[in-house]
Amino acid sequence: MGTFGGQFEDFHADDRRAEVIDWLGGLLPEFDLPLDSSDEELREYLIDGTALCYTADKLMPGVLEGVWGGYASDHRSNVKKFLSVIAEMGLPGFSVKDLEEGSMSSIVECLLALRDNVSAGLGENMSNYPAKTPARPVAPVSTPGRRSPGEDRRRGLWDAKSPQRSPLLSGQKANEVFQFKRGQYTDLPAAKISEMIQSNSLDNAPTQSLLRVVNGILDESIERKRGEIPHRVVYLLRNVVQEIEHRISIQAEHIRNQNSIIKTREDKYRSKIKALETLVNGTNEENEMAINRLELVKVEKSKIDERRKIGEQDMVRLMREKENAENTVTNLQQEIQVMSRMFEEYREQMEEKTSQMEEHLTLRAKEAEFLLMQSKKRVEEVETASELQSQLWSKKANTFRSFMDNQKLSIKDIRISSQSIKQEMFALQMKWRDEISNIGLDLKGLVDAAENYHGVLAENQKLFNEVQELKGNIRVYCRVRPFLPGQDGKSTAVDYIGENGEILISNPSKQGKDGYRMFKFNKIFNTHVSQAEVFSDIQPLIRSVLDGFNVCIFAYGQTGSGKTYTMSGPGKSKEDWGVNYRALNDLFDISLKRRNTFSYEVEVQMVEIYNEQVRDLLSNDIAQKRLGIWSTSQPNGLVVPDASLIPVKSTSDVLDLMEIGQANRAVGSTALNERSSRSHSILTVHVRGLDVKNGSASRGCLHLIDLAGSERVERSEATGDRLKEAQHINKSLSALGDVIFALAQKNAHVPYRNSKLTQVLQSSLGGQAKTLMFVQINPDVESCSETISTLKFAERVSGVELGAARSNKEGKDIKDLLEQVASLKDTISRKDMEIEQLQVNKVKSPSSLTDKSGSSLLKQPSTASQQNQLISGSIGSGETEYEDNASDDGCSVGETEYSVGSASESAADRMQKGPSRLTRFFLTKNGQPAASRPKPKEPAPKSTTIGRRNSIASQVPTAASSIKPPKKRVVQ
């Protein structure tokens, strides 16, 4: 502990010493000891006492002069002088011995006490300043490299050069100085100051007077601008002026003191010089002494001169400082003036703004008052209104309450009555239930009866159909075309369509009862009926082809009435498909389903009749190109013997063929219908079925005929070629009418040969075929008369009885026989050719044609030549003995006088090619050679000539009257 205590004491002593060194360093510029100097180093510095004396002099200038006459050359005397000052100040001192060789702590403590005393003295002086004034420390003596100003401030060291901060002056003396300078100029009147300023007597005025003037101005300005100049500024200015005054007075005092000292010394030295001069006249020794003394005096004098010079320099410096102070005062005055001017302006601005604001606020206050008044009024109004409202509401509430009470009462009544009604209802319900159950029972009976009735009806329908079937009536389906896009505004001639095939046509050109005409057909398809629906109605008919029946479907109607739409369809999509595509598609479907029991072969022919010429629409070339197949050999009894017969395997084959056929159709354009086809198109489907089990065969044939338009020639505005076309069409349709009329009348003679069309349709119309006619009508009222004519014709057609249809089925034996017949036919054909060749040769060399008897072979024709003669006759006349024998078993018509492909082809040309199909046809009717067939019964010449009046052709909408009727031939 002792060691630690010793160390602590050492540290403490070091710190105290460092403090002293630091303080002295700041005080004495020449004191340059480092802070960590030792006691000995400090002692060495202080031992001669000059540093101590100089310190005392610095802190209290002139204090040593009063102590034994200033500095001494002996160091001990200097130390003693310093100690005497310390003692005078009542501070702890030290012995000279301590300084020379003892502990330095007493010296350090003495100096620190002196420092503290000086600081305390300064604090005393500072306490004279107002508390708010920031304590302005006197700038510390700067010793570069020793301390920072911050450190100085921290240590509280003050400028020792400033005498007013000197501890000696901080006492009574300093106070006197302050009081003196304050009391000197404050009583100077402001008027006198302004007088002085005006009289320009500033140059000669004493500094104190000037300061008083400044103070006066300041006071007066402050007085005037009271409240405008911030207190801080006033206070600062006052302090600055006081500070300047103070400094000047101190400096003046100092100079005075110096002067008086110099003066007393001068007097002293003068007296001494006088004394010495008297002594000069004394002894030499005394002279020498006097000289020495004089020397000393001179030295002293030079010293004094130096000091005087220093004093003068100080004087100059002080004067300069004074000037500076004066300048500062002037600047401050100017600043004050500027500031007061600024304050004046600012005040004026503020006053102006204040007045504006006041005005504005007054206005706003008035507005607010006005608004307040208004709002008060509104509030009053609203209050009165709300009062009225509340009164009204309370009245209403009362009414409502009473109403509610009434309602409650009535609800009560209603409840009571509803309960009674419920009871009644319950009773009624019970009653009704019984009654309903009774009615249900009755209804059930009725339903059963109705079901029976429907069953009976269906049965009736079936029976009726069967009767029809047995009778072989031509079925007639009427289809009404919808208005086309762009015909929205048109009115319809179709007035009513019934469920049982009735259709009522109105004719606006006729009045009353005559304006309406009712027709009845097997079925009417209204405008909205789809292609599929139409087909579903004729599907069973078409399917019967597979069972060996001949079926003929033809579409009849004026141009643009939808014949092609029904038969072929408007486009290639499946929904658009017409009867043609759907029929073939259906046939393929069924044949596929029956493939295990039946094998079917389907072949297709497509021809058109254009201007009474038959054209093959599926010529070999095209078919080969498109399908890569050739037409097969012609089967017996073909409708159009020379037309290509194309085998088809699938619907797509059919589609391709149809495309070819359509492309080849002669299509012309008329004023009525741009796409109007000007020819009759006939699609014939041959179906040969073979029962794979029993070998029996069937042959069915389906004609699908799209007739040319039946419009009037004059209406279609046709001329030239078109007129010719129209005439041919009308002629053929007229012939069709004649045939149908004959059939309807059951005439023995049916004029099939009057046109190519009737010849083609002969087997379908006259044979045991199933025939259906689509009669197409245009709903437009403008086409009303055409429509009525068309429907009249259809009505007649529907009356035609063809007799029960018959299936072309052959047993195995018949089939064998047919095959034998076919081979025989070929043999005969060959013989035919030989005979013909012989005949040709005979013509070339008649001798070679005479037989042994010399008679000509021409006179005695062989059976074959007789047959050929007959054929030639037939070709020429266009009529055969079988003309009216519509008993063909296949799709054959009677003999034809046309050939397909080229109407100009000669018989010789045909012979070159081989036996004509016509010949073959003739020979193979019913599978027997013509010669071996029994001669048909002569038909009763009931009506060999049909009067035009009775002819149905007159009812057909044609220009038949303009066409010469065909030449009628008498049936053999």
Ligand X SMILES: Nc1ncnc2c1ncn2[C@@H]1O[C@H](COP(=O)(O)OP(=O)(O)OP(=O)(O)O)[C@@H](O)[C@H]1O
Q: Which residue, among 35, 7, 289, has the nearest Cα to 147 in the 3D structure?
A: 35
Candidate segments 11-19, 40-48, 562-570, 867-875, binder of ligand X by CB under 6 A: 562-570
Among positions 473, 550, 559, 679, the unique one binding ligand X when judged by CB under 6 A: 559
Work out the number of other CB atoms within 10 angstroms of the CB of residue 487. Answer: 11
- Cβ pair 818, 825 in contact under 8 A: no
The minimum distance between CB 955 and ligand X, in angstroms, equals 19
Which residues lie across from 555 on neighbouring strands? 706, 774
- Cβ pair 33, 25 in contact under 8 A: yes
**Is 313 assigned to a binding site?**
no
Give whichever of 678 and 686 is closer to ligand X, judged by the CB atom: 678
676 binds ligand X (CB under 6 A): yes
- Cβ pair 740, 773 in contact under 8 A: no
Rounded Cα–Cα distance for residues 346 and 354 (Å): 12
602 DSSP assignment: E
**Is 942 assigned to a binding site?**
no
Among positions 392, 463, 484, 518, the unique one binding ligand X when judged by CB under 6 A: 484
- Cβ pair 877, 969 in contact under 8 A: yes
Strand order in the sheet with 516-520: 494-497, 502-506, 516-520
The minimum distance between CB 677 and ligand X, in angstroms, equals 4
**Is 771 assigned to a binding site?**
no
Among positions 481, 680, 699, 703, the unique one binding ligand X when judged by CB under 6 A: 481
The minimum distance between CB 703 and ligand X, in angstroms, equals 17
- Tokens 């010493």 belong to which residue? 17
**Is 501 assigned to a binding site?**
no
- Longest CA–CA span in the chain (Å) reads 237
Our CA dihedral for 146, 149, 150, 151, rounded to 10 degrees, sits at 40
Give whichever of 555 and 742 is closer to ligand X, judged by the CB atom: 555
Burial class (CB in 10 A: 0-12, 13-18, 19+), 582: buried
570 binds ligand X (CB under 6 A): yes
The minimum distance between CB 487 and ligand X, in angstroms, equals 10
The minimum distance between CB 780 and ligand X, in angstroms, equals 11
Per DSSP, helices labelled H in 878-946 are: 907-913, 917-923
The minimum distance between CB 534 and ligand X, in angstroms, equals 8
**Is 559 assigned to a binding site?**
yes
Rounded Cα–Cα distance for residues 530 and 137 (Å): 121
Which residues, at least 6 apart from 387, have a Cβ–Cβ distance to it below 8 Å? none
571 binds ligand X (CB under 6 A): no
675 binds ligand X (CB under 6 A): yes
Q: Which residue, among 338, 337, 321, has the nearest Cα to 214 in the 3D structure?
A: 337
Give whichever of 82 and 556 is closer to ligand X, judged by the CB atom: 556
Which residues, at least 6 apart from 397, have a Cβ–Cβ distance to it below 8 Å? none
- Tokens 């102006």 belong to which residue? 352
6 binds ligand X (CB under 6 A): no
876 binds ligand X (CB under 6 A): no
671 binds ligand X (CB under 6 A): no
Residue-by-residue DSSP string for 294-328: HHHHHHHHHHHHHHHHHHHHHHHHHHHHHHHHHHH
**How many chain residues interact with ligand X (CB under 6 A)?**
18
Structure token pair of residue 640: 């159009």
Candidate segments 470-478, 671-679, 763-771, 875-883, binder of ligand X by CB under 6 A: 671-679
Give whichever of 125 and 958 is closer to ligand X, judged by the CB atom: 958
Give whichever of 564 and 644 is closer to ligand X, judged by the CB atom: 564
Among positions 55, 564, 651, 919, the unique one binding ligand X when judged by CB under 6 A: 564
Q: Which residue, among 701, 753, 718, 743, has the nearest Cα to 548 in the 3D structure?
A: 701
The minimum distance between CB 673 and ligand X, in angstroms, equals 4
The minimum distance between CB 559 and ligand X, in angstroms, equals 4
Give whichever of 484 and 663 is closer to ligand X, judged by the CB atom: 484
Name the E strands within 558-695.
598-610, 613-616, 646-648, 680-691
The minimum distance between CB 664 and ligand X, in angstroms, equals 15
**Is 563 assigned to a binding site?**
yes
Structure token pair of residue 689: 């079925």
563 binds ligand X (CB under 6 A): yes
Give whichever of 159 and 608 is closer to ligand X, judged by the CB atom: 608
Among positions 482, 508, 695, 941, the unique one binding ligand X when judged by CB under 6 A: 482
Packing angle between helix 579-593 and helix 651-664, nearest 10 degrees? 160
Give whichever of 345 and 721 is closer to ligand X, judged by the CB atom: 721
The minimum distance between CB 615 and ligand X, in angstroms, equals 16
Among positions 221, 673, 798, 867, the unique one binding ligand X when judged by CB under 6 A: 673
Q: Which of residues 737-796 bind ligand X (CB under 6 A)?
A: 776
565 binds ligand X (CB under 6 A): yes
557 binds ligand X (CB under 6 A): yes
Q: Which of residues 364-393 bind ligand X (CB under 6 A)?
A: none
The minimum distance between CB 709 and ligand X, in angstroms, equals 3
- Which helix (H) or strand (E) segment holds residue 424: the answer is helix 284-471
**Is 562 assigned to a binding site?**
yes
The minimum distance between CB 556 and ligand X, in angstroms, equals 9
The minimum distance between CB 776 and ligand X, in angstroms, equals 6
Give whichever of 560 and 766 is closer to ligand X, judged by the CB atom: 560
Q: Which of residues 681-700 bind ligand X (CB under 6 A)?
A: none
The minimum distance between CB 756 and ligand X, in angstroms, equals 18
Candidate segments 48-56, 103-111, 431-439, 675-683, binder of ligand X by CB under 6 A: 675-683
| 308 to 347: interface string for ligand X, x by CB under 6 A | ----------------------------------------
| 709 to 748: interface string for ligand X, x by CB under 6 A | x---------------------------------------
**Is 873 assigned to a binding site?**
no
Residue-by-residue DSSP string for 426-490: HHHHHHHHHHHHHHHHHHHHHHHHHHHHHHHHHHHHHHHHHHHHHHTBPEEEEEEPPPPTT-TTP
Per DSSP, helices labelled H in 665-811 are: 713-716, 720-744, 756-766, 784-798
- Cβ pair 749, 939 in contact under 8 A: yes
Give whichever of 674 and 938 is closer to ligand X, judged by the CB atom: 674
Candidate segments 93-101, 149-157, 242-250, 669-677, binder of ligand X by CB under 6 A: 669-677
Work out the number of other CB atoms within 10 angstroms of the CB of residue 835. Answer: 19
The minimum distance between CB 867 and ligand X, in angstroms, equals 41
Rounded Cα–Cα distance for residues 527 and 562 (Å): 11
Which residues, at least 6 apart from 3, have a Cβ–Cβ distance to it below 8 Å? none
Structure token pair of residue 177: 């100085």
Give whichever of 440 and 570 is closer to ligand X, judged by the CB atom: 570
Give whichever of 561 and 631 is closer to ligand X, judged by the CB atom: 561
Alpha-carbon distances, residue 111 vs 21, 23, 37 (angstroms) = 10, 9, 16
Alpha-carbon distances, residue 521 vs 460, 525, 860 (angstroms) = 17, 10, 57
572 binds ligand X (CB under 6 A): no
Distance of CA 414 to the CA centre of its chain: 61
Per DSSP, helices labelled H in 892-955 are: 907-913, 917-923
Give whichever of 481 and 770 is closer to ligand X, judged by the CB atom: 481
Candidate segments 27-35, 515-523, 564-572, 626-634, binder of ligand X by CB under 6 A: 564-572
Give whichever of 43 and 715 is closer to ligand X, judged by the CB atom: 715
**Which positions lie near ligand X, rule CB under 6 A?**
481-482, 484, 557, 559-565, 570, 673, 675-677, 709, 776
Binding-site entries: 557-564
Binding-site entries for ATP: 557-564
